[in-house]
Amino acid sequence: MKVTHSADVPTITLPNSALSGVQLVAEGDCGYTSYEARIPANAVVPLRSPDDSKSVHIYYCISGNGKYTTPDGTENDFTPHTAIALSSDMTYQLAVSAEGAMRVFLAYRQDADGECKSLAVVRHLSELVGTERDVDWTSGRSHRYLIKEDGFPIGLHNTSVYAKTKSKLEYRNHIESVYYIAGKVTYHWADTNGKWVKEETKIDKDNGTTFFMNLNDPHLVDNDDKESCCLCIFDPVLGGKETHDLSQEKFSIYEA
């Protein structure tokens, strides 16, 4: 397990050098990297693959408002809880509102062989609520923006964790990272020496906490007395209907 509090890491230039922000999951730890970009008011920036590699690139608006423009000139709103997923050959333009800066969670997954081409998915949370992509995983709800049928190699979920719940989870077949943007959660897991340790989230209006299960760590999620929210990346992408069985003492896993 690796834990990153965005308030504790330096601001850097991101792999798309038009953006700056903080790194949440580092290159080499798994097949993808993730960041939070902090984009100033009135800025106009390209949403594109990294400067020196071909990668699918995924964006989730945490806060702030703006508009994105597609290659054919179509303009639409980019507002909180909107996600944009693009293959490496696709670029959108983002114009941030004059009202204030924007926080954007983003992830890159290399696609050196160009298997993903001309893919573009835009979804808002409101489109998922009440659909098959709105999954009750027992201790909360998983709103699945990207699943296997969308054609991307990694999945993106907005996941809620119900108040006063404890969940024993393990992902044996996926590498998962979760970026908490609301609530107060404590994770418990065994370190490399087998000793159980714990870490709490540090969340405010500008920062969040990432828990990265880089060793497929079995872990206990202990939520506080208010509902929490996190942004999850799964590698490989989920089929979309997976859920957990928390009725037993053992750690619940996704079989696929």
User: What's the full length of the chain, in residues?
Assistant: 256
Q: Which two tokens stand for residue 1?
A: 């397990």
Q: Which amino acid is at 32?
A: Y
Q: Which amino acid is at 4?
A: T
Look at residues 139, 163, 181 and name the one whose alpha carbon lies nearest to residue 225: 163
**Whole-number pLDDT of residue 240:** 64
Look at residues 73, 29, 32, 75 and name the one whose alpha carbon lies nearest to residue 53: 32
Greatest Cα pair distance, the chain, in angstroms, is: 55
Cα–Cα distance, 114 to 141 (Å, whole number): 33
pLDDT tens across the length of the chain (256 residues):
999 999 999 999 999 999 999 999 997 778 899 999 999 999 999 999 999 999 999 999 999 999 999 999 999 999 999 999 999 999 999 999 999 999 999 999 998 777 889 999 999 999 999 999 999 998 999 999 999 999 999 999 999 999 999 999 988 888 999 999 999 999 999 988 889 999 999 999 999 999 999 988 999 999 999 999 999 999 999 886 767 666 677 776 666 5
**Whole-number pLDDT of residue 256:** 57
**Whole-number pLDDT of residue 252:** 60
Q: Which two tokens stand for residue 13?
A: 């230039």
Q: Report phi then psi at 8, rounded to 5.
A: -100, 0
Q: Which amino acid is at 107?
A: A
Cα–Cα distance, 193 to 120 (Å, whole number): 43
Q: Which two tokens stand for residue 201?
A: 């989230």
Q: How do strand 141-146 and strand 155-161 relate by DSSP bridges?
A: antiparallel
Residue 22: how many other CB atoms lie within 10 Å: 21
**Whole-number pLDDT of residue 49:** 97
Q: How do strand 252-253 and strand 166-170 relate by DSSP bridges?
A: parallel
For residue 149, what is the DSSP state?
Answer: G
Superfamily of domain 2-253: Jelly Rolls (2.60.120.10)
**Whole-number pLDDT of residue 1:** 94
**Whole-number pLDDT of residue 116:** 86
**Whole-number pLDDT of residue 119:** 97
Buried b (16+ CB within 10 A) or exposed e, 46-59: ebbbbeeebbbbbb
Bridge partners of 84, per DSSP, are 59, 122
Helix (H/G/I), strand (E/B), else coil: 12: strand
